[in-house]
Amino acid sequence: MGETPLESAADRATAAPATSTRVTAGTNDPAPSNGLNRRQALVVGVLVLGYAALSHYSETAPGARGLAAGLTVGPVLLIGLVLVAYWAGRWIALTAAALSLALLYRFWPAVEHNYEWADLIQQCGIYALIAASFARSLWGDRRPLCTELAAKLHGELTAVEIAYTRRATAAWSGLYAVITVLILTLFFTAPRHVWSLFVNFGTFALIILAGIADHAIRRRVLPRHPEGGLLGIIRRSIIG
């Protein structure tokens, strides 16, 4: 015999609390611990400082030109191979890696003898590109880069927040342009160890100090989103 409408309604009413209980239990699960996120941030910090220290050592220690050349060429080659693998596939990337290693083996004496110029081009190129990216976003009808990043983090922005993030974009562009000029100037005017100290440690110190200043101004001017800014973006990209 089939169920009557009354019995079906009673069965649905009985089943509903169970479903509700399951959903509630799912939403009340404890949040994951931040321990792993902090460990990730610590690992990233150690790797960055370790690379900077090793790079400075290779620039200043006698007989370490081979290490310095490897630290200059290695990251660029690795990034290039990762991009080739992403765009063209694994086998083409492996072929490119084999060809690159063969060329390095063949011309390594020249690379080791002239690595300083490659290092200068790499350092200036990176910071100049970042400065240009910030500056370009201020032209015409484009959206300033800091405004774009803040909108992705916080949603719709107020007029005051838009004005501040536009000025912040100009400030970051100026900072990276100044860093580029200082790297170029010190390369030709200062001893090698001074240039190395600035490139490996001074640039990071300037960026961190600028981030702290941005954070302090943001807390006063934009109390609605005090945790934004470049430091907030870096923190979210590392630890979530």
Query: How many percent of the chain have pLDDT more than 70?
Result: 76
Distance CA 49, CA 69 (A): 19
Same structural domain for residues 130 and 109?
Answer: no
The pLDDT, as a whole number, for residue 96 is 92
User: Do residues 211 and 231 touch, judged by C-beta distance below 8 A?
Assistant: yes
Q: Mark which of 80, 113, 146 sits at the end of a domain.
A: 113
The average confidence (pLDDT) of the chain is 79
Give the pLDDT of residue 32. 47
Quote the CA–CA distance of 210 and 234 in Å, as a whole number. 13
pLDDT of residue 33: 45
Q: Which residue has the higher pLDDT, 222 or 81?
A: 81
Comparing 10-24, 71-85, 131-145, which segment has the lowest mean pLDDT?
Answer: 10-24
Amino acid at 217: I
Based on the domain organization, do 125 and 108 belong to the same domain? no
- Can you give the residue range of the structural domain that contains 47? 37-113
Least confident of 21-30, 38-47, 74-83: 21-30
Q: Does 165 reside within a domain?
A: yes
Number of domains in the chain: 2
Residues 141 and 194 in one domain: yes
| Structure tokens that stand for 21 in this block | 């209980």
Mean pLDDT of 61-71: 85
226 and 134 assigned to the same domain: yes
Which residues, 6 or more positions from 22, have their beta carbon under 8 angstroms from its beta carbon?
A: none
| Same domain for 128 and 53 | no
Q: Is residue 133 part of a domain?
A: yes
Q: Is residue 179 part of a domain?
A: yes
Which of 83, 98, 113 is the last residue in one of the domains? 113
Q: Position 167: which residue type?
A: R
Measured CA to CA, the distance from residue 81 to residue 101 in angstroms comes to: 12
Give 144's pLDDT tier (boundaries 50, 70, 90). very high
From the DSSP assignment, how many helices (H) and strands (E) are in the chain?
10, 0
Please indicate whether residue 216 or residue 25 has the higher confidence score (pLDDT).
Answer: 216
Pair (158, 97) in one structural domain = no
Q: Lowest mean pLDDT: which of 53-62, 104-113, 135-144? A: 53-62
Residues 199 and 227 in one domain: yes
Per the CB < 8 A criterion, the answer to whether 158 and 224 are in contact is: yes
Q: Report, as an integer, the average pLDDT of 181-189.
A: 96
Say whether both 178 and 197 belong to one domain.
yes
223 lies in the same domain as 185 = yes
State phi, psi for 164 to the nearest 5 degrees: -65, -45
53 has pLDDT over 80? yes
Cα distance between residue 155 and residue 143, in whole Å: 14
